[in-house]
Amino acid sequence: MNELTQLTSLVVALKTVTLLLGGLITFFAFKAYRRTDSPALRALALGFGVVTLGAFLAGIADQIVGIDREVVLVIESTLTAAGFGVITYSLYVE
């Protein structure tokens, strides 16, 4: 196995862990929102969902579609920043 293949395998494994954990956090935050009807928890679930979606779309764009890695990085970074913006907002919602 060459070095690039090992690195790609490591990135795929880490993205998989990110998707699983991000999906769980999103699920539990959404479940808490449904139980409490809290706008803050709704925003929190949405924020984590956007961050997780960014990781997912970046993985698809890179590994399956074959989009240039710089473009993939911009896509992922944009969705991560937007998701963290929503998470920050969730901390200030009543």
Segment 74-85 mean pLDDT: 96
Q: What are 55's two structure tokens? A: 């990781």
DSSP-assigned states of every residue in 21-84: HHHHHHHHHHHHHHHH--HHHHHHHHHHHHHHHHHHHHHHIIIII---HHHHHHHHHHHHHHHH
Q: pTM, whole model, 2 decimals?
A: 0.88
Q: Is the CB of residue 72 less than 8 Å from the CB of residue 61? A: yes
Q: What pLDDT score was predicted for residue 93? A: 85
Q: What are 81's two structure tokens? A: 């920043």
**Tokens 């997780």, residue located:** 52
Assign 1 a pLDDT band (cuts: 50, 70, 90): low
What is the per-residue pLDDT across 22-69, written as a single tens digit (0 to 9) for each?
999 999 999 999 999 999 999 999 999 999 999 999 989 988 898 999
